[in-house]
Amino acid sequence: MLETLKRHKIVAIVRGLPLKHAFQTAQALEAAGIHLLEVTLNTPDALKILSSWRENFPGMHIGAGTVVTLEDAKLALEAGAQFLVTPNLDEAVVEHARAHSIPIFPGALTPSEIVRAHFAGATAVKVFPVSALGGPQYIAEVRAPLAHIPLIAVGGVNVGNARAYLDAGCVGLGVGSSLLDLEKVRAGDFDGVRQDAENLVKALEE
Protein backbone atom coordinates (compact mmCIF):
# COMPACT_ATOMS: atom_id res chain seq x y z
CA MET A 1 0.00 0.00 0.00
CA LEU A 2 2.87 2.37 0.74
CA GLU A 3 4.17 1.89 -2.80
CA THR A 4 0.69 2.59 -4.16
CA LEU A 5 0.57 5.80 -2.14
CA LYS A 6 4.00 6.86 -3.38
CA ARG A 7 2.96 6.19 -6.96
CA HIS A 8 -0.41 7.96 -6.92
CA LYS A 9 0.31 10.48 -4.13
CA ILE A 10 -3.23 11.81 -3.61
CA VAL A 11 -5.75 10.51 -1.09
CA ALA A 12 -9.09 12.20 -1.76
CA ILE A 13 -10.78 12.91 1.58
CA VAL A 14 -14.54 12.90 1.20
CA ARG A 15 -16.54 14.36 4.08
CA GLY A 16 -20.25 15.18 4.17
CA LEU A 17 -21.03 13.63 0.79
CA PRO A 18 -24.71 12.72 0.32
CA LEU A 19 -25.17 9.02 -0.37
CA LYS A 20 -27.20 9.73 -3.51
CA HIS A 21 -24.18 11.45 -5.08
CA ALA A 22 -21.57 8.89 -4.02
CA PHE A 23 -21.40 6.93 -7.26
CA GLN A 24 -21.07 9.92 -9.59
CA THR A 25 -18.53 11.59 -7.30
CA ALA A 26 -16.25 8.55 -7.26
CA GLN A 27 -16.74 8.16 -11.01
CA ALA A 28 -15.61 11.75 -11.59
CA LEU A 29 -12.60 11.42 -9.30
CA GLU A 30 -11.52 8.17 -10.91
CA ALA A 31 -11.81 9.70 -14.36
CA ALA A 32 -9.50 12.51 -13.20
CA GLY A 33 -6.81 10.07 -12.11
CA ILE A 34 -7.53 9.76 -8.40
CA HIS A 35 -6.81 6.22 -7.17
CA LEU A 36 -7.15 6.47 -3.37
CA LEU A 37 -10.49 7.50 -1.93
CA GLU A 38 -11.31 8.00 1.75
CA VAL A 39 -14.77 8.58 3.20
CA THR A 40 -14.76 9.97 6.72
CA LEU A 41 -16.84 8.10 9.27
CA ASN A 42 -18.49 11.30 10.47
CA THR A 43 -20.18 11.48 7.07
CA PRO A 44 -23.84 10.35 7.17
CA ASP A 45 -24.14 6.87 5.60
CA ALA A 46 -20.34 6.60 5.48
CA LEU A 47 -20.33 2.81 5.74
CA LYS A 48 -22.92 2.49 2.97
CA ILE A 49 -20.84 4.79 0.77
CA LEU A 50 -17.71 2.77 1.51
CA SER A 51 -19.39 -0.53 0.66
CA SER A 52 -20.89 0.92 -2.52
CA TRP A 53 -17.52 2.21 -3.68
CA ARG A 54 -15.86 -1.13 -3.00
CA GLU A 55 -18.50 -2.84 -5.13
CA ASN A 56 -18.52 -0.36 -8.00
CA PHE A 57 -14.92 0.84 -8.24
CA PRO A 58 -12.59 -2.16 -8.06
CA GLY A 59 -9.77 -0.17 -9.62
CA MET A 60 -9.67 2.30 -6.72
CA HIS A 61 -8.35 1.86 -3.19
CA ILE A 62 -11.19 2.66 -0.80
CA GLY A 63 -10.58 3.58 2.81
CA ALA A 64 -12.23 4.97 5.92
CA GLY A 65 -11.17 8.21 7.56
CA THR A 66 -11.84 9.83 10.94
CA VAL A 67 -11.44 6.41 12.53
CA VAL A 68 -11.30 7.48 16.18
CA THR A 69 -12.17 4.35 18.14
CA LEU A 70 -11.54 0.62 17.95
CA GLU A 71 -15.25 0.17 17.23
CA ASP A 72 -14.92 2.57 14.28
CA ALA A 73 -12.08 0.46 12.94
CA LYS A 74 -14.04 -2.76 13.26
CA LEU A 75 -17.09 -1.33 11.50
CA ALA A 76 -14.96 0.13 8.71
CA LEU A 77 -13.25 -3.19 8.05
CA GLU A 78 -16.59 -5.00 8.07
CA ALA A 79 -17.80 -2.54 5.43
CA GLY A 80 -14.78 -3.33 3.26
CA ALA A 81 -12.26 -0.59 4.02
CA GLN A 82 -8.90 -1.28 2.38
CA PHE A 83 -7.07 1.25 4.56
CA LEU A 84 -7.76 3.30 7.68
CA VAL A 85 -6.96 6.94 8.45
CA THR A 86 -7.21 8.51 11.89
CA PRO A 87 -6.98 12.12 13.10
CA ASN A 88 -5.09 10.99 16.22
CA LEU A 89 -2.87 8.19 17.44
CA ASP A 90 -4.59 5.30 19.22
CA GLU A 91 -2.30 2.29 19.47
CA ALA A 92 -5.27 -0.09 19.81
CA VAL A 93 -6.62 1.06 16.46
CA VAL A 94 -3.19 0.69 14.84
CA GLU A 95 -2.78 -2.77 16.34
CA HIS A 96 -6.21 -3.85 15.09
CA ALA A 97 -5.39 -2.71 11.56
CA ARG A 98 -2.04 -4.48 11.60
CA ALA A 99 -3.63 -7.66 12.95
CA HIS A 100 -5.87 -7.67 9.87
CA SER A 101 -3.05 -6.69 7.48
CA ILE A 102 -4.77 -3.37 6.72
CA PRO A 103 -2.66 -0.28 5.99
CA ILE A 104 -3.17 2.48 8.55
CA PHE A 105 -2.27 6.16 8.49
CA PRO A 106 -2.62 7.53 12.03
CA GLY A 107 -2.65 11.25 12.71
CA ALA A 108 0.20 12.96 14.53
CA LEU A 109 1.68 16.44 14.59
CA THR A 110 4.76 16.86 16.76
CA PRO A 111 8.02 14.97 16.24
CA SER A 112 7.34 12.93 19.39
CA GLU A 113 3.87 11.94 18.15
CA ILE A 114 5.21 11.09 14.70
CA VAL A 115 7.90 8.80 16.13
CA ARG A 116 5.37 7.19 18.47
CA ALA A 117 3.01 6.51 15.57
CA HIS A 118 5.85 5.04 13.53
CA PHE A 119 6.89 2.64 16.27
CA ALA A 120 3.25 1.70 16.87
CA GLY A 121 3.21 0.30 13.32
CA ALA A 122 1.91 3.07 11.08
CA THR A 123 2.13 2.36 7.36
CA ALA A 124 2.76 6.10 7.02
CA VAL A 125 2.09 8.92 9.46
CA LYS A 126 -0.55 11.54 8.67
CA VAL A 127 0.82 14.92 9.75
CA PHE A 128 -2.31 16.84 10.71
CA PRO A 129 -3.16 19.69 10.69
CA VAL A 130 0.08 20.44 8.90
CA SER A 131 -0.78 23.95 7.71
CA ALA A 132 -1.11 25.13 11.31
CA LEU A 133 2.62 24.63 11.88
CA GLY A 134 4.04 26.03 8.69
CA GLY A 135 3.07 23.62 5.93
CA PRO A 136 5.88 22.41 3.64
CA GLN A 137 8.57 24.12 5.72
CA TYR A 138 7.44 22.20 8.79
CA ILE A 139 7.60 18.93 6.86
CA ALA A 140 11.11 19.71 5.66
CA GLU A 141 12.29 20.53 9.18
CA VAL A 142 10.70 17.42 10.70
CA ARG A 143 12.20 15.20 8.03
CA ALA A 144 15.72 16.43 8.74
CA PRO A 145 16.03 14.01 11.70
CA LEU A 146 13.10 11.73 10.76
CA ALA A 147 13.55 11.11 7.03
CA HIS A 148 13.06 7.36 7.54
CA ILE A 149 9.40 7.86 8.51
CA PRO A 150 6.92 8.14 5.60
CA LEU A 151 4.75 11.24 6.03
CA ILE A 152 1.40 12.25 4.52
CA ALA A 153 0.51 15.95 4.64
CA VAL A 154 -3.11 16.65 5.59
CA GLY A 155 -4.84 19.91 6.46
CA GLY A 156 -4.79 22.87 4.10
CA VAL A 157 -3.29 21.02 1.15
CA ASN A 158 -4.44 22.49 -2.17
CA VAL A 159 -3.48 22.82 -5.82
CA GLY A 160 -1.26 25.79 -5.02
CA ASN A 161 0.94 24.12 -2.40
CA ALA A 162 0.64 20.40 -3.14
CA ARG A 163 3.85 20.22 -5.16
CA ALA A 164 5.75 21.94 -2.34
CA TYR A 165 4.71 19.22 0.11
CA LEU A 166 6.09 16.54 -2.18
CA ASP A 167 9.28 18.52 -2.69
CA ALA A 168 9.59 18.72 1.11
CA GLY A 169 9.55 14.93 1.25
CA CYS A 170 5.97 13.75 1.78
CA VAL A 171 5.10 10.38 0.27
CA GLY A 172 1.46 11.39 -0.14
CA LEU A 173 -1.14 14.09 0.37
CA GLY A 174 -4.59 13.98 1.91
CA VAL A 175 -6.76 16.54 0.15
CA GLY A 176 -10.31 17.31 1.18
CA SER A 177 -12.41 20.45 0.66
CA SER A 178 -9.99 22.03 -1.81
CA LEU A 179 -10.36 18.96 -4.03
CA LEU A 180 -14.05 18.16 -3.68
CA ASP A 181 -16.47 21.09 -3.81
CA LEU A 182 -19.71 19.81 -2.29
CA GLU A 183 -21.63 22.71 -3.81
CA LYS A 184 -20.71 21.37 -7.26
CA VAL A 185 -21.71 17.89 -6.16
CA ARG A 186 -25.12 19.04 -4.93
CA ALA A 187 -25.62 20.99 -8.17
CA GLY A 188 -24.80 17.89 -10.21
CA ASP A 189 -21.71 19.51 -11.74
CA PHE A 190 -19.61 16.37 -11.91
CA ASP A 191 -17.66 17.70 -14.89
CA GLY A 192 -16.55 20.47 -12.55
CA VAL A 193 -15.64 17.92 -9.88
CA ARG A 194 -13.56 16.01 -12.42
CA GLN A 195 -11.86 19.19 -13.65
CA ASP A 196 -10.89 20.25 -10.11
CA ALA A 197 -9.36 16.84 -9.49
CA GLU A 198 -7.54 16.90 -12.84
CA ASN A 199 -6.05 20.28 -11.94
CA LEU A 200 -4.57 18.81 -8.77
CA VAL A 201 -3.25 15.73 -10.54
CA LYS A 202 -1.62 17.90 -13.20
CA ALA A 203 -0.07 20.18 -10.56
CA LEU A 204 1.78 17.19 -9.15
CA GLU A 205 2.98 16.07 -12.56
CA GLU A 206 4.57 19.43 -13.41
The secondary structure of the chain as a DSSP string is -HHHHHHH-EEEEE-S--GGGHHHHHHHHHHHT--EEEEETTSTTHHHHHHHHHHH-TTSEEEEE---SHHHHHHHHHTT-S-EE-SS--HHHHHHHHHTT--EE-EE-SHHHHHHHHHHT-SSEEETTGGGGTTHHHHHHHHHHHTTS-EEEESS--TTTHHHHHHTT-SEEEE-TTT--HHHHHHT-HHHHHHHHHHHHHHHH-
Kindly report the pTM of this predicted structure: 0.96
pLDDT of residue 205: 87
Is 90 exceeded by the pLDDT of residue 206? no
Catalytic hit among 71, 126, 141, 184: 126
Is 90 exceeded by the pLDDT of residue 148? yes
Catalytic hit among 9, 30, 38, 184: 38
What CATH number is given for 2-205 in this structure?
Answer: 3.20.20.70
Task: Give pLDDT tens digits for 24-82.
Answer: 999 999 999 999 999 999 999 999 999 999 999 999 999 999 999 999 999 999 999 99
Q: Is 202 a catalytic site residue?
A: no
Task: Give pLDDT tens digits for 83-138.
Answer: 999 999 999 999 999 999 999 999 999 999 999 999 999 999 999 999 999 999 99
Task: Give pLDDT tens digits for 150-191.
Answer: 999 999 999 999 999 999 999 999 999 999 999 999 999 999
* CA–CA distance, 76 with 79 (Å, rounded to integer): 5
Where are the domains positioned within the chain? Answer: 2-205
Q: Is 71 a catalytic site residue?
A: no
